[in-house]
Amino acid sequence: MSNAYLILFLVLLQSVCTRFEMVTEKVSHVPETTAELVESVEFVRKSQTQSLPEMKLEVNAAGARLLTLLNYTVLNSKHALNHRLHKFCRKTGTSGYYYFRG
């Protein structure tokens, strides 16, 4: 298994983690005006119906890639994105296993 496959996996995982963090930040913001409240509600609706289901599919696909990757290599401490995913799951009270199961 080439390093290119590992790099591709890490880039995809980085993208998903960043997008989940962006959603978390956006929904954690307390709106100060009615316009911000309306925008926040629209963002939550779009996230629930479109963004989060897409990201869940991407996480499931990344999990499948990770399982394949683990058949061929051992990840070490340099691969900090794995830590970011687990940190995100702990912060949100979810299990990474849930995302990989589908």
Give the pair of three-digit tokens for residue 36. 């911000």
The count of structural domains within the chain is 1
**How far is residue 87's CA from residue 56's CA, in Å, rounded to a whole number?**
17
- Note the pLDDT tens digit of each residue in 21-70: 888 898 898 999 999 999 999 999 998 899 888 888 888 887 787 777 76
Give the pair of three-digit tokens for residue 22. 């962006």
**How far is residue 85's CA from residue 88's CA, in Å, rounded to a whole number?**
5
Range of the domain at 83: 3-101
**How far is residue 69's CA from residue 4's CA, in Å, rounded to a whole number?**
11
Q: What is the pTM of this model?
A: 0.55
What pLDDT was estimated at residue 41? 93
